[in-house]
Amino acid sequence: MSDPKAHRPSSEKVMLRLKNIHKEYNKDNGNESLSNHIILNKLNLDIKEGEFVTIVGPSGCGKSTLLNLVASMDTHYTGEILINGKPIYESPNTDRVVVFQEGALFPWLTAYKNIEFGLKIAKVPKAKRRESVMRHIRMVQLTSFTHAFIHQLSGGMKQRVAIARALALNPKILLMDEPFAALDVQTRKMLYNQLLTIHQETNKTILFVTHNINEAVALGDRVIVMSPKLANIKKEFTVDIPRPRKIDHPLIDSITKEIVAESEELFVSTTAPESDNALQEHNFVAPMTTH
């Protein structure tokens, strides 16, 4: 039986605070008729320790931009990003590690060597590296592929190696940018389950970007919906489904429908003839189960 409090973030402590984040790209050189493109307009967001927050929104609404700012891959913005109350630039980069859509693994190395790579750079002693690599490869259930080369692995396995590699660095915040977007439905479902288990076991703070509302609801404690028109958060939804969570929990579909109903105009052009079909076609609500 599940603990009724188990699905809440374990702490009330704010791990990540975004304060008045403003991000824009400059107008084209010399073309005065174009105004600057504002991507994030005074955005505020707090994420608690251990919380799993998912960000959804149509392509181009600034999800990856936001993630890149938190990862310090882009430092051209105004506003403040704080980790545990301290400015982000005082925090080591390994405090937040990104898992991308294509795992960005080294194809000439084995799964083991890929996971070990960051630990080597961080000068972690060999015995500790080995313990960490093996623990994380077990966590993503790839022990029998420890010494396989990346090209010998399926797409789902590669993403699991990427997740293990990120976790081995023991980040405070795991940043995930559409990590499952290139995978088929069955593989995605398997990885949802695995990621939920990993979150349960490690209690990592996770910020997860997707354009798939079903996915956002299945995984998150909170779903943040972004609007390109506002260049900001349109609305947020709490996903009050107990953890450990089953990805076929009936509330996932009903919360997804609620979000779709409230955000449909963000995802589908007004000329779309049948909005439900259009949403599925564009994979915004790719079905979790085959009916």
**Which residues of this protein are in contact with ligand ADP, per CB under 6 A?**
25, 37, 39, 57, 59-65
| CB 226 to ligand ADP: min, Å | 7
| CB 27 to ligand ADP: min, Å | 10
Q: Give 262-270 contacts, CB < 8 A, sequence gap 24+.
A: 262/225, 262/235, 263/56, 263/213, 263/225, 263/234, 263/235, 266/57, 266/58, 266/61, 266/225, 266/227, 266/228, 266/234, 267/58
* Nearest CB to ligand ADP, comparing residues 59 and 289: 59
| CB 68 to ligand ADP: min, Å | 7
* Nearest CB to ligand ADP, comparing residues 43 and 198: 43
* Nearest CB to ligand ADP, comparing residues 36 and 144: 36
Distance CA 255, CA 272 (A): 23
Measure CA 233 to chain center: 16
Could you tell me where the DSSP H helices lie in 122-246?
126-139, 155-168, 185-202, 213-219
| CB 26 to ligand ADP: min, Å | 8
Nearest to residue 167, comparing CAs of 118, 212, 213? 118
In whole angstroms, how far apart are CA 237 and each of 48, 113, 221, 224, 226?
15, 40, 9, 7, 12
* Nearest CB to ligand ADP, comparing residues 49 and 178: 178
Burial group, residue 166, by CB count within 10 angstroms (0-12, 13-18, 19+): buried
* Nearest CB to ligand ADP, comparing residues 68 and 205: 68
| CB 44 to ligand ADP: min, Å | 18
* Nearest CB to ligand ADP, comparing residues 157 and 219: 219
| CB 165 to ligand ADP: min, Å | 22
